[in-house]
A and B are shown apart, each in its own frame.
Chain A
Amino acid sequence: MLGKRYVIYLFYLNLVLCITVFVPQILYKNSLNGSISSICLAIIVGGCFIYVLQKVFAQFPEQNINQILIHKVPNWLRKLYIIYSLIFWYLTGALFIVALTQVVKLFINPETPLMLTYFIFLALIIFAIVLKTKSLLYVTELVVISHIPIVLFVNIRFFSDPYVFKDSIYQSLTYFKHFPKINSFTAAIFVFTGFSNLIVFNEKINMKLIKKRDIIGIFLFGIFVLLTLYFIPIGYLGLKGVPKAVFVWLSTVDSMHFDYLFVERIIYIILFVQIFSSLVYIILCWHTSVELFKTLNLNYGGMYKWILISFFICVTTIIQILIRELDILKYFIMFFNYCAFSNLLLVILLLYVSIKKRHAS
């Protein structure tokens, strides 16, 4: 049994990952017609989401989704749901690895072939996903702790920088009188979905230990990150400039000027930790997928797991080859809509199960 801080790490990883997976860009698509209201709506819905998930998972300590659902919903529904979320978590990881290789290709080594980068990452990920859940959570802790100073650093720089255009930020706030847009909303809600991994990790972490004040702390931190995610680039690149940038956050970090630091471009430090946390996130996603597969109880030894993994490799490689750099944003918009839908499904299912449990006892 692991301590409650691991839940916070899972949530944190999800938050900081939004930078590399185009959440800000999708929000800026509607920056003049409804992003602000989408963010507000996402904060409210996200708060409810965190609250409900914590309540429900606390009722089923040390159980994964299979153990929660068993005997409470029909067998076919349980299997269907597990297969569905298996595919969902697999696709999450696959899409993220494609985005990650793009970033590495563009910023770190433009001369290395894309596929080489991709295969090196893939080898690392495949090696890691078959490890024990506990050891993966330990790795997560390491990565998150090394990431925190960077986030603080960027924020302190933003608040102390005289070159920030405060007027642009104020101007972006004046565009609040619009209806929320679905794409912006689903992208913003992704910030708060760090708990949905718990369908597997609940087995190792006891949610009962999480108090109300922890939940409120996590929620406030989520709001803070979502707002900085949206407003810091506007301060550096201007309200009309942000929709033009492809990797908004990397341009923003590159724009921060550090006079007295030992490195001139902090972008490389950020990229480094960002790549690490993205890799860990992908590993966690696919690990979730493999663990879900195990719960299906196919009694054929370890063979089937490897069949699934080789299937992963093939499909991801095909996706990697097919997706073009220009279209990647479009796929992410689709993914966020899909993600919001899956999380809605999860909440409905869990609420149903918890009500059923209360009636039974």
Chain B
Amino acid sequence: MGTTFLLSGCTFKDIDKRAFVTSIGIDQSETSDKKYKVMIKVAIPKGDPKQPESDFVILTSNTDSITEGLSLMKSQIDKELVFGHNNSLLIGEQLAKSNIQPILEFFVRRPDIQMTSYLSVARPNAFEVLNFKPAAEQVSGNFLKSFFDFSKTESPYIDSLFLYDAFRRETEDGITIAMPIVEKKKTQLEVDQIALFNKYKMLMELSSNESETFRLLTTGIYNGNLNVRNKNGMYIINMEKGKSKYKLKGQNRSIKANYTIKIKAIIEEKIDGLAIISKSEIAELRKQVEDKIDAEATDLLTKIKKQNLDPIGFGLRYMSRDSENRKMDLWDKNYPKLSFNIKTKVEIKGTGLIQ
């Protein structure tokens, strides 16, 4: 037993001789003869945990391969670099629009990089996002992670993507990648859009509204919101919990995706007037919300279908159910014919503390 203890831990190098990498960013190189600009964010540890301060160093190098870049960085810092605590991988928008396959493969191949690292597209580029310094954070680089961790943020616009998820979406037939976009605004970071990829490059992006619908159609959402207008004015509906599932029906010609969306909602805000919201009005609103979600979902799905992308995985579902459907070219033929039939059930639970 003692021998195993001897083996584990930081062998031969003390912890104060190590530097912890918290995020890795990759951009297209600015110099024309190199391929990548590799950046790492190294946290500078603070002795006192009571005074959270975000101090970090960003190391950069322009290279043709990521490995080369990372080993060049070893000569830029006096410590041994540790990648085991790295939890976010940023890909610059420019690079995402050309080819991400080699990057994904590199990260999956390395044993010390976590398979649960969060992937995201950085806009305008990875350097800007990495260089962002929040007012306070416990460990520098943690800020980015908190965006994607479900236990920390529950924004309905963020669709986080793990490294292993990206890898299997890359290799598996009939499904493509959807990645969140981190945007550097003037004073803050914003994550409310989703980039859709085909097998290797970014093809389209969803607006924040579409991102919410996309989350509703895939992982489900918590606390999303929706505006509805009727003759008495505008209402804001808070969707406390939304879930969806789908079934593929029919063969070849008349193939159909039957979606069922279930939403629990409350009326949170009423813009015009102070009149009491009556029972009949609630029923009316419910109908309106259902119609609106139906329309939005159908729009989004057809829009994605037109680009011939499949981030939800209809193709995978189609190929998994019958051994005769397993050919990818068959699905490629059938996907444009796929029609969507969306059934939304909204349950309005209440109107808050006042009627």
Give me the interface of A with B, judged by CB distance under 8 Å. 104, 106-112, 117, 120-121, 123-124, 162-163, 165, 167-168, 170-171, 174-175, 177, 236-241, 244, 250-251, 254-257, 259-260, 264-265, 272, 275-276, 279
Contact = CB atoms under 8 A, between A and B. Distances in A.
Given A112-B12, A236-B164, A168 B320 contact: yes
B306 interface: no
B3 A123 contact: yes
Nearest to A260: B151
B46 interface: no
Nearest to A162: B219
Given A265-B114, A276-B4, A251 B172 contact: no
B164 A255 contact: yes
Nearest to A106: B111
A259 B13 contact: no
B197 interface: no
Nearest to B113: A254
A109 B7 CA distance: 8
17 contacts: A111-B11, A120-B6, A120-B7, A163-B162, A165-B316, A167-B313, A168-B316, A171-B316, A171-B319, A171-B320, A175-B323, A236-B164, A236-B168, A255-B115, A255-B162, A255-B164, A272-B4
Nearest to A127: B3
Contacts of B326: 171, 174
Contacts of B205: none
Contacts of A260: 151
B188 interface: no
Given A255-B116, A257-B116, A265-B114, 19 more contacts: A110-B112, A163-B165, A165-B172, A167-B317, A171-B320, A171-B326, A174-B321, A174-B322, A236-B164, A238-B167, A238-B168, A238-B171, A238-B172, A241-B172, A244-B171, A250-B111, A251-B115, A259-B151, A272-B8
Contacts of B319: 171
Interface string B103-136: 0000000011011100000000000000000000
Contact of B115 (A120, A254, A272): A254
Interface in B169-216: 169, 171-173
A323 to B, nearest CB: 19
Contact of A107 (B111, B162, B313, B316): B111
A348 B164 CA distance: 46
A162 B7 CA distance: 36
Nearest to B168: A238
Contacts of B3: 120-121, 123-124
Contacts of B151: 259-260
B8 A108 contact: yes
Interface string B1-25: 1011011100111000000000000
A123 B2 CA distance: 12
Interface string B309-329: 000010011011111001000
Contacts of B162: 163, 255, 257
Contacts of A279: 4
Given A240-B171, A255-B116, A170 B4 contact: no
B51 to A, nearest CB: 24
Contact of B149 (A109, A237, A259, A265): A259
B167 A117 contact: no
Given A111-B12, A120-B6, A239 B172 contact: yes
Contacts of B320: 167-168, 170-171, 174
A22 to B, nearest CB: 16
Contacts of A108: 7-8
